[in-house]
Amino acid sequence: MAPAYDVIVLGLGGMGSAAAAHLAARGVKVLGLEKFGPVHNRGSSHGGSRITRQSYFEDPAYVPLLLRAYELYEELERETGRDIATLCGGLMIGRPDSRTVAGARRSAEQWDLPHEMLDAEQLRRRFPTLTPADDEVALYEARAGLLRPENTVAAHLQLAVRHGASLHYEEPVTRWEPYRDGVRVHTREDVYTASRLIICPGAWAPELLADVGVPITVERKIMYWFQPRGGTGPYRPERHPVYVWEDREGIQVYGFPAIDGPDRGAKVAFFRDGGVCTPETIDRTVHDHEIRAIADYLGPRLPTLPGTFIKGVTCMYSTTPDEHFVIARHPEHPEAVTVACGFSGHGFKFVPVVGEILADLALEGGTPHPISLFDPARFAGKLNGGS
C-alpha cells in the first residue's frame, strides 16, 4: 500500500511553514503537523520583528543564501499581499576590529554589497538618536531592515493550503519510525505514513533529534519594548534604522524602529544574555531587574529610548556550539528524513530559502544551494548534508 502522503513536515514555525509551502507548490502531497495552533508564540517565530541584513558578520558563506531569501520574501509578499519586509536600512556598530563591524565589512567587500562606513561623528549627525563613543564606527547597509515573523509564517501557511497541503494543529507528534520505504508518524490522534519526513523542531530539537548527536542548547531570550522620551517620531522607520551594536566586551544589543504606531514603542534586546532552559521550564515572566539592566545599558547609547517600559516577551534560541545552522539528511535514514535545527538566534531571515532547501533535500536528495557550513558532521561525524 502506498504511503498516504509524499512528505510530512513536523513543526510549522518559520522553517516548517516555509518547507510546507515550497513542497506543496511543487505538487506533492504534504501533511504538516504542529503541536500548537497556527502562528503561535510558544517557540521562536514571534515578537513582531526580526532583523534582516546581507553584510553578514557571522560568515560570508551566508550571503548567497541571503540574496536568495530576499528574492523569496519579495515573491511571498506579492503572492499573499501581506506586509513582511521593511528595508529601513541597518547599522552594524562597534569598534573597527569588533566581530560585528569587521565581519560585516568582510562580507560586504567579498560579495561587493553596497555599504557605507561611518565614523562616530558621521553616525551621530546622520542618526541623532544614537550616541556612539568616539572610537566606534558603523557599517551602514541600505538594504537591511526588518521582517514580520508572524506575517511570514502566516503567509507560508496560506500558500501551503492554497497549493493543497493538509495542516493539522494542536496535534503533537509522539514518535516516528522507519516504515517500508518511508516513515510512519504517530500523534496523539492518529498514525500517518509518508515517503519523506522533514523535522523542523525549533527549541524541541534536543528532545526530538537526540539520536543524531547534534549538540544544541536552548536559551531563554527576552525582547523589550520602550516608549522613547519625546515620542516615537525620531524612531520611525524613515528616520531610524535597525542596528546591532557591540561593545568592547563583545556584548551585542540590537534594536528596531518604532513600526506599529506611536503607542507601541521601539523594540530592543540583548543578542545573547539568556539562561539555559527547555520549552517546558522556560521562565516566561520578564522581571524588574531584567528591565532595569537593559534600560541602564541603553541609556548611554540611545539616551531617549529607555523612557517608559511597555512590555517584555520571551522566546527561545536553539544554539549550536559554533552558532551555525544544522540542515541535513538524517544519518541513519538519509533517503527518508531531513532535519533543520540549531538556528542560533539569527536564522529567521533565511526562512524562505531554508524552506526551498528542505524541499530540495526531501525530493531530490540534494540542493544547489551552498549549505556545507551547516553539515552537522562537524559535531558528531554522523550526518551528511546536501551540497
Residue 113 annotated in ligand binding:
no
Residue 28 among known ligand-binding residues: yes
- Identify the DSSP state of 57: S
Q: Is 69 annotated as a binding residue?
A: no
Only one residue has cell 548527536, namely 213
**φ, ψ at 18 (rounded to 5°):** -65, -40
Question: Distance (Å, rounded) from C-alpha 146 to C-alpha 80?
Answer: 18
15 is in an annotated binding site: yes
| 3-class state of residue 15 by DSSP | helix
Is 222 flagged in the annotation as binding? Answer: no
Does the annotation flag 144 for ligand binding? no
- Produce one character per residue of 304-329: b if its CB has 16 or more CB atoms within 10 Å, e if not: bbbbebeebbbbbbbbbeeebbbbbb
What are the residues whose beta carbons fall under 8 Å from the beta carbon of 350, sequence distance 6 or more? 62, 65, 66, 69, 325, 343
Does the annotation list 19 as a binding residue? yes
22 is in an annotated binding site: yes
Tell whether 89 is in a known binding site: no
Say if residue 104 carries a ligand binding annotation: no
Q: Is 81 annotated as a binding residue?
A: no
Residue 43 labeled ligand binder: no
The Cα–Cα gap between 113 and 188 comes to 49
- Would you say 12 is a known binding-site residue? yes
Q: CB of 298 within 8 A of CB of 268?
A: yes
71 is in an annotated binding site: no
Was 35 annotated as part of a binding site? yes
Q: Is 26 annotated as a binding residue?
A: yes
Closest by CA position to 52, among listed 264, 294, 272, 349: 349
* Residue 205 assigned ligand-binding role: no
Residue 7 marked as a ligand binder: yes
**Is 24 annotated among the ligand-binding residues?**
yes
Flag whether 47 is marked binding.
no
Query: Rounded to an integer, what distance in angstroms lies between the CA atom of residue 28 and that of residue 279?
Result: 32
Please count the other Cβ atoms lying within 10 Å of the Cβ belonging to residue 11: 27
Q: Is 31 annotated as a binding residue?
A: yes
The verdict on whether residue 18 carries a ligand-binding annotation is yes
For residue 380, say whether it is annotated as part of any ligand binding site. Answer: no
As annotated, the binding site includes: 6-36
As annotated, the binding site for FAD includes: 6-36
